[in-house]
Structure 1
Amino acid sequence: MSFRIDPRLPLTGEVRRILADEIGKAIGHLEAAREKPEQGLHKCRKRLKSVRALLRLVRSGDEPFCQTENECYKQVSALLAGPREATALIETVDRLADAFPEQSAGGGLDAVRERLVLRQHELHAGPGLDAAINAAIAACHEGLERIDRLALPDQPEQAADILAEGARATLRRAKKALDKADARGEADDFHDLRKAAKTHSMHLSLLGRLWPTPIKARRKAVDKLGEQLGELHDVFVMRALLDAEGEPLGPVEETKLLRKLLKRSEKSLTKACLADAAELFGDSPKRSAKRLARKARGDLAAPQEEAKAA
């Protein structure tokens, strides 16, 4: 099924269809995660992000439903965050080794990587993961049963305004996070920017038939920014682990190189993310939303006009 709103069909039915499809796929990935946790958990969390992005897009049309369901899937995703993060940290070490081959030659990061792999295995092998998967599956099945409660206005003008408002809210979040990241450079600011960029990317997919600007190039640029912000987030998480008490990643002499490479990677990624985000989110969110609303009204009204003419 397509992760795209069809303007020829009523908005409520389209959103219900996409929610059911994404949640169903999330359940399938959770079942697969019992045998292959790395892939299954990652794919499931991506589906849950898609669900939450859709709920944010149409929130103004049925706020009680969307707010409640968004919080539900936020909690489900949190159940799976620890095991997924363990894998992401290993990937971070591997990226650092690839990015700085001369500095990491000779196995300078091997000891840290071995500890991270052991940490991952402990999380995946323990009873906690199975319990988290069971709880997540149960919550998703309950969510599927609640989808029919969603009720959105299906009139073209109202539907267009709902979609435009949802897109604008995310663009506004991205602009605010960008301004804070540029001014302060805190990890939380870049994390907020990442979440907004990911949501905006999914909105571009959902609104592929309605977005008023050339969408392919923008989607490619937003996805690139999301990947860079994800790598930067992993760098911040790794640094926090290094600064934690109890030397979780090893003694100072074994983590000295890691600290150095993390600092270099953070500097490079921060510069790139700020520059790319400014290109994408420097425009006025209000102006972008108005363009979307104008085009959406026309596209959503067209099928009804054709039906009347027939």
Structure 2
Amino acid sequence: MSFRIDPRLPLTGEVRRILADEIGRALGHLETARDKPEQGLHKCRKRLKSIRALLRLVRSGDEPFCQTENECYKQVSALLSGPREATALIETIDRLADAFPEQTAGGGLDPVRDRLLLRQHELHAGPGLDAAINAAVTACQEGLERIDKLALPDQPEQAADILAEGARATLRRAKKALDKAGSRGEADDFHDLRKAAKTHSMHLSLLGRLWPTPIKARRKAVDKLGELLGELHDVFVMRALLDADGEPLGPPEDTKLLRKLLKRSEKSLGKACLADAADLFGDSPRRSAKKLARKARDDLAGQREDAAAAVG
């Protein structure tokens, strides 16, 4: 089924349909994760992000339901974050090796990579992963049973306002995070920007028939920004591990090169992320949301009038 709201149909039914589809896919990925954790966990967490993005989009239409369900899937995602992060850190080492081939040709990152592989194996082979997957499966199954409790206004004007408000709230989050990342440059600021960009990308998919700008180009640019911010996030996580007690990545002589390359990577990625985010989120969220609301009202009303005429 399509991850896109059909403006010809009542909003409540469309959101219920998409929620059921995404939760069902998440459950499938959780089963895959029992045998292939690297693959299944990543795909499952992507579905959970899609679910939470949808809930944020329509939150103003049924705040108690959306807030409760969003918190539920946030906790499910947290259950799976450790094992997924272990894989992401290995991918970070490989990206650094590709980005700086001359500096890493002698295998200077190999000791750290070996430790990360061992860490990944321990997380994936231990009983903790099965327990996390079982808890996630239970939470998702219970979430499926609660979908029918969602009730949104289905009148075209009210539905349009709900969608516009949800999109605007995410654009506001992105603009606020961009301003903080530009002025402070803290890891949390870039992480907030990444989450807002990912949510906005999913909103573009959900609102593909209603968004008032050339959507393909914007979606491509947002996804590119999301990838860059994801790489930067992994750099921040790796640097935090370097500074953690107990030297989990190894003694200083094994991590000296890694520390140097992470610093260089952080600088270049941060600069690129700020430039791309300014192009995407520098405009007024209020202005963008007004355009969306106006177009959504016209499209929702027009398409339902056409459908009624066809029936008549």
TM-score, normalised relative to structure 1: 0.99
- Residues 210-261 of structure 1 deviation map (CA, whole Å, 9 limit, x = unaligned): 0000000000000000000000000000000000011110010110000000
**Percent same amino acid among aligned pairs?**
90
Task: Give, in whole Å, the separation in 2 of the partners of 1:86 and 1:254.
Answer: 19
1:251 equivalent to 2:290? Answer no
Q: Residue 302 of structure 1: CA displacement?
A: 1.5
1:104 equivalent to 2:104? Answer yes
Task: Give, in whole Å, the separation in 2 of the partners of 1:131 and 1:304.
Answer: 47
Task: Give, in whole Å, the separation in 2 of the partners of 1:202 and 1:80.
Answer: 21
Q: Residue 305 of structure 1: CA displacement?
A: 1.5
- Residues 35-82 of structure 1 deviation map (CA, whole Å, 9 limit, x = unaligned): 000000000000000000000000000000000000000000000000
- Residues 72-111 of structure 1 deviation map (CA, whole Å, 9 limit, x = unaligned): 0000000000000000000000000000000011100000
* Cross-structure match for 1:189: 189
- Residues 12-54 of structure 1 deviation map (CA, whole Å, 9 limit, x = unaligned): 0000000000000000000000000000000000000000000
Task: Give, in whole Å, the separation in 2 of the partners of 1:102 and 1:65.
Answer: 54
Q: Residue 303 of structure 1: CA displacement?
A: 2.8
Task: Give, in whole Å, the separation in 1 of the partners of 2:169 and 2:305.
Answer: 30
Map 1:48-59 to 2 at 5 A.
48-59=48-59
SS, match of residue 295 in structure 2? helix
Q: Is the 8 A contact 2:178 2:274 kept in 1?
A: yes
The gaps in structure 2 that reach 5 residues or longer are none
SS, match of residue 212 in structure 1? coil
RMSD: 0.6
TM-score, normalised relative to structure 2: 0.99
* Cross-structure match for 2:204: 204
Q: Residue 309 of structure 1: CA displacement?
A: 3.5
SS, match of residue 43 in structure 1? helix
SS, match of residue 107 in structure 1? coil
Task: Give, in whole Å, the separation in 1 of the partners of 2:299 and 2:74.
Answer: 32
Task: Give, in whole Å, the separation in 1 of the partners of 2:309 and 2:36.
Answer: 54
Task: Give, in whole Å, the separation in 2 of the partners of 1:88 and 1:255.
Answer: 18
Q: Is the 8 A contact 2:8 2:307 kept in 1?
A: no
Task: Give, in whole Å, the separation in 1 of the partners of 2:309 and 2:95.
Answer: 59
The gaps in structure 1 that reach 5 residues or longer are none
Task: Give, in whole Å, the separation in 1 of the partners of 2:51 and 2:307.
Answer: 31
